[in-house]
Structure 1
């Protein structure tokens, strides 16, 4: 099978598409024939050597890709509730050499859920990492219905899901993005769309843009702040709880998030698609920023 890998760290030019052995599912695992796999900032960080392993020995390589949509191709022992051919989504975890940017990937069954039926698999591939990140960050904040929540980077993939989930939970959402994104933010459910933090005061902040101090300064004393950058958590003060979300697979919750897509609560957004052979172009485009949705690789 074909897979995108790196043998060293650097820019998009270090990406390679190689022929790799077909992975076999072990007990409690599922092999998925990949229809689409999202490209995330974590992939760029790993490729550049900023996150994950810091060096690779001779002959070693790393695969990339964390979220996947496709069909069940094979089941390991002890996997109930899934059938070959079923459309699924999942979040890859662990440090295996091959990940979702490939024609096939093996996941723990506990990280897999039925794909939403209202969107195609390309759009479904934008769900696992981004929706889990937004959802788990909101869980860390512990905000209650009626609280004012700041979401930075609100027009981006994680921020957009955060706005929708927070609105669905009854929070009053202050969404920060560029001025031209105000109509989109309103459509996603934001109560206020702002392009500056001047005068903004909130009970909690979900800092999807990783602004750090400026976003923290908008939180009232005794409030809560969560960033999506575990390596850039600002210092706490004024009784504010400060944390970073570190995404973990949760197939049961992913099934609920997929159901929210089918109910129209969550909106999947695809910025563009690329074949595996153009993974370097996709990495370069993501690094440019300004996307209003996810880039997706299609084998």
Structure 2
């Protein structure tokens, strides 16, 4: 089978190679997935560029975490899955998973049935970003009737955070560049604000929760009231955290997404109801993996970048 590999730290076009290797076998508690599509995320390009661990995130020269495809074989002790089931997963994260290949071994606990309303490309693009949004909303305690501010509403995590917050019955305010406002409204945002418009940002009334999905972003002061929950997926500086604490925000939480098949299954149920869609920024073939990673590195992705795989090619 074909499998991607990093030769060392460096630019995507110089260090990504595709090897012919033996296909893995499903062990106890595992499922062998014939891969159809793999989502790319900022963590993929950061870890390739550095070729080292990032805290608990394990580096491997065989990359990939997101995956969608079909069940090819079932390991010992696994029930409820049969060959041909259409599945998707965030595999093993933050441990190495090796999904950027034609076949990948995935823990049965990480898998969920892919929504029939999503294409293989959409299912492959979704897991890490959708689970991050789900877990961020959980960490913020978002529930029906609350107001949520999503900083970075047009990104991979941001566009899921908007939809999942709306599915919980929350009102959503989101930031995005003006060219993306119609898209963001289409995902359910009640109000969309240009992230560069300081006057508009200062006009945001206090919210119950802030979900920070972009680097070095501090919510506008008027949006934060005593008790506002602030959850970041990127981290905030000590000075930013001090400012938020001085404004009365709850203790700031930084989350690292965890693989969770049960939560993915709940997201899939919402997708079947038409409440969650996946916006694809761009699709690439496996042989164009370097270009796909370069697209992610621009930092201007709307929704998700996905790599398509065909084991028969």
Q: Give TM-score scaled by structure 1 length.
A: 0.91
Quick check: 1:62–1:97 contact (8 Å CA) kept in 2? no
Report what 1:254 is aligned to: 264
* Distance in 1, Cα, partners of 2:306 & 2:36: 10
Does residue 26 of the first structure (1) align with residue 32 of the second (2)?
A: no
- When structure 1 is superposed on structure 2, of 202-211 and 223-232 the one drifting more is 223-232
- SS of alignment partner, residue 202 of structure 1: coil
Does residue 298 of the first structure (1) align with residue 308 of the second (2)?
A: yes
Report what 2:102 is aligned to: 103
Quick check: 1:45–1:51 contact (8 Å CA) kept in 2? no
Q: CA deviation at 1:61?
A: 5.7
Where does 1:113-192 land on structure 2 (aligned, <5 Å)?
Answer: 113-192=112-191
- SS of alignment partner, residue 292 of structure 1: coil
Quick check: 1:207–1:215 contact (8 Å CA) kept in 2? no
- When structure 1 is superposed on structure 2, of 107-116 and 146-155 the one drifting more is 146-155
Report what 2:11 is aligned to: 11
Q: CA deviation at 1:198?
A: 2.4
Q: What value does the CA root-mean-square deviation take over the aligned residues?
A: 2.2
Q: Could you say if the C-alpha distance between residues 138 and 146 of structure 1 is closer, same or farther in structure 2, counting changes exceeding 3 Å?
A: same
Gaps of 5+ in 2: none
Q: CA deviation at 1:95?
A: 7.0
Q: Could you say if the C-alpha distance between residues 188 and 61 of structure 1 is closer, same or farther in structure 2, counting changes exceeding 3 Å?
A: closer
* Distance in 2, Cα, partners of 1:89 & 1:169: 23
Quick check: 1:205–1:215 contact (8 Å CA) kept in 2? no
Describe the superposition over 1:227-274 as per-residue Cα deviations: whole angstroms up to 9, x where unpaired.
111576742512422111211111112111112111110011222211
Q: Could you say if the C-alpha distance between residues 77 and 230 of structure 1 is closer, same or farther in structure 2, counting changes exceeding 3 Å?
A: farther
* Distance in 2, Cα, partners of 1:163 & 1:213: 18
**Structure 1 stretches (4+) deviating beyond 6 angstroms?**
none
* Distance in 2, Cα, partners of 1:94 & 1:118: 25
- SS of alignment partner, residue 143 of structure 1: coil
Q: Could you say if the C-alpha distance between residues 289 and 73 of structure 1 is closer, same or farther in structure 2, counting changes exceeding 3 Å?
A: same
* Distance in 2, Cα, partners of 1:123 & 1:157: 12
Does residue 83 of the first structure (1) align with residue 89 of the second (2)?
A: no
Describe the superposition over 1:35-75 as per-residue Cα deviations: whole angstroms up to 9, x where unpaired.
00001111011101176269xxxxx9612221111000111
Gaps of 5+ in 1: 55-59
Report what 1:57 is aligned to: none
* Distance in 2, Cα, partners of 1:20 & 1:216: 54
Where does 1:135-284 land on structure 2 (aligned, <5 Å)?
Answer: 135-195=134-194, 196=197, 197-200=201-204, 201-214=206-219, 218-230=223-235, 234-236=240-242, 237=245, 238-284=248-294
Q: CA deviation at 1:97?
A: 6.0
Q: Which has the higher strand share?
A: 1
* Distance in 1, Cα, partners of 2:138 & 2:251: 13
